[in-house]
Amino acid sequence: MFGELIKLISTRNSLRGAVIRRLVRALTFIPYPVRLSVDAVERAHYGYCVFHAARQARLLGHKQISVLEFGVAGGNGLLNLEYHAMETKKHLDIDVEVYGFDTGEGLPDPVDYRDLPYFWRGGFYEMDQAKLLERLRFAKVVVGRISDTLPTFFAKYKPAPVAAVFIDLDYYSSTTEAFKLFEIGRENILPRAYMYFDDITAPEDALYSVFAGERLAILEFNNEHSQQKISEAVYLRYGPNNFGAWRNQIYIYHDFSHPDYCRFLGAYDGRHGSLAIR
C-alpha cells in the first residue's frame, strides 16, 4: 500500500506528487518513516538526519544519541528536532537528546570578508530566550559564544554520543569554531555523523562559494585533518527520491580512526542499499 504511495509522490518535478505530499503530511496515521521518506514532514532534512543517525547508532549497539544544532535563533529548528526525536524514539526505540548552541544575542559582527558582510550583519536572529524555554519540552539551550561554551559542554552536560550536527551559523568564523567539536568531543561522536549545513546554497543573493562562509570552513577542515573528513552525502544527490533540494545540504562527518569505523553493521535489506534494523 505505502510502496505505491511513495512511488506516486516521488515522481521528480511532479505537481501531482507535491499536492499528494501536502496531503500526506496531514495524515498522521501514515507511519512516520513513510511520511519522512517522501518529505511529507516539516523540515524533512532534520528528520532525515535524526532518523538515519539513530538507525546507525542502533546497529552500533547504542541506546541513545545526541543531536546538536548550532545557531538556534527563534528556536523553530530546535522545536522541530524535538518532534523528530520523539518520532524516532517511537519507531526505533532509541532516545534522542537535543542540544542547541546560540549566543542569545543574534549574530556577532562579521570578522572579515569570509563572513560575507555584504549579506549578513551583526544582531540578526536575536533569541527571545525566555519565550523559547517556555516552548521547549526537553531540548537544552547552551547560551554564549561557541568558543566559550563548547570546551566545557561535554563535561557539563555529559551528552549521549553525538550522531547528528546541524550548522546554521551563517559565518565562516562561527562555523570554524563549531568544528572544534570534532576535536574537543571526538571520543564522544559516532564514527559517522550526519550533518546539515543551512547556509551553502540559497538564497541567490548570498552568492555562496568555496572561498567564504560555511563552504570554506568545510574545505579548510578537510585540508587540515587526515583522519577526519566532512563529505557530501553523494547518494542523496543521485539516488532515488531526490526531489528535495535539501539533499544538497546533507554531509557526513567521517572519523577513520574511530574504533567502530570499520565495524560491519549487518546485512542489507535490498531496498536501495539500506541496512536492515534487526
In order along its 278 residues, the chain shows pLDDT tens digits of: 555 555 555 554 455 556 566 666 667 778 999 889 888 899 999 999 999 999 999 999 999 999 999 999 999 999 999 999 999 999 999 999 999 999 999 999 999 999 999 999 999 999 999 999 999 999 999 999 999 999 999 999 999 999 999 999 999 999 999 999 999 999 999 999 999 999 999 899 999 999 999 999 999 999 999 999 999 999 888 765 556 789 999 999 999 999 999 999 986 655 555 665 54
Beta-carbon contacts of 4 under 8 Å, excluding residues fewer than 6 positions away, are: none
Alpha-carbon distance of 236 to 52, in angstroms, equals 13
Radius of gyration of the chain (CA): 19
Whether 260 is covered by a domain: the verdict is: no
Give the chain's domain count.
2
264 assigned to some structural domain: no
Residue from 114, 100, 82 nearest 167 by CA: 100
| C-beta of residue 184 within 8 angstroms of C-beta of residue 86 | no
- C-alpha span between 102 and 145 (Å, rounded): 7
Q: How many angstroms separate the first and last alpha carbons of the chain?
A: 23
14 and 104 inside one domain: no
Q: CATH number of the domain that 119 lies in?
A: 3.40.50.150
Task: Tell me if 88 sits within 8 A of 54, measured CB to CB.
Answer: yes
Distance CA 252, CA 270 (A): 22
On whether both 132 and 169 belong to a single domain, the answer is yes
Q: Could you tell me if 181 and 206 lie in one domain?
A: yes
Measure the CA–CA gap between 196 and 218, rounded to whole angstroms. 12
- The C-alpha cell at 185 is 568531543
Asked whether residue 206 is assigned to any structural domain, the reply reads yes
Backbone angles phi, psi at 70, to 5 degrees: -100, 115
> In this structure, are 75 and 54 located in the same domain?
yes
Q: Residue 64: in which H helix or E strand, if any?
A: strand 64-70
Are the C-beta atoms of residues 217 and 175 closer than 8 Å to each other?
A: yes
Considering the domain architecture, whether residues 88 and 48 belong to the same structural domain is answered as: yes
pLDDT at residue number 268: 60
What pLDDT does 41 receive? 92
* 75 plus 16 within the same structural domain: no
Do residues 82 and 109 both lie within one domain? yes
Q: Do 74 and 182 have their domain in common?
A: yes
Query: For residue 159, is it within any domain?
Result: yes
**156 plus 71 within the same structural domain:** yes
Distance separating alpha carbons of residues 142 and 67, to the nearest angstrom: 13
Q: Within this chain, do residues 86 and 70 fall inside the same structural domain, yes or no? A: yes
Could you tell me if residue 269 is inside a domain?
no
Q: Note whether residue 242 is domain-resident.
A: yes
Here the cell at position 159 is 551528552
* Distance separating alpha carbons of residues 38 and 44, to the nearest angstrom: 9
Residue 10 C-alpha cell reads as 516521488
Residue 90 CB neighbour total at 10 angstroms? 10
Q: What range does the domain containing 230 cover?
A: 43-255
Q: Can you state the angle between helices 44-59 and 76-92, rounded to 10 degrees?
A: 40
Q: Give the three cell numbers for residue 211.
A: 572561498
Report d(CA 207, CA 205) in Å as an integer: 5
79 with 28, same domain? no
User: Is position 262 within any domain?
Assistant: no
In a domain, 84, yes or no: yes
109 φ/ψ angles, rounded to the nearest 5 degrees: -70, 145
Tell me: do 14 and 25 sit in the same domain: yes
Q: Please name which of 66, 71, 77, 196 lies closest in space to residue 143, comparing C-alpha atoms.
A: 71
Question: Which residues lie below 8 Å from residue 231, measured CB to CB, with a gap of 6+?
Answer: 251, 252, 254
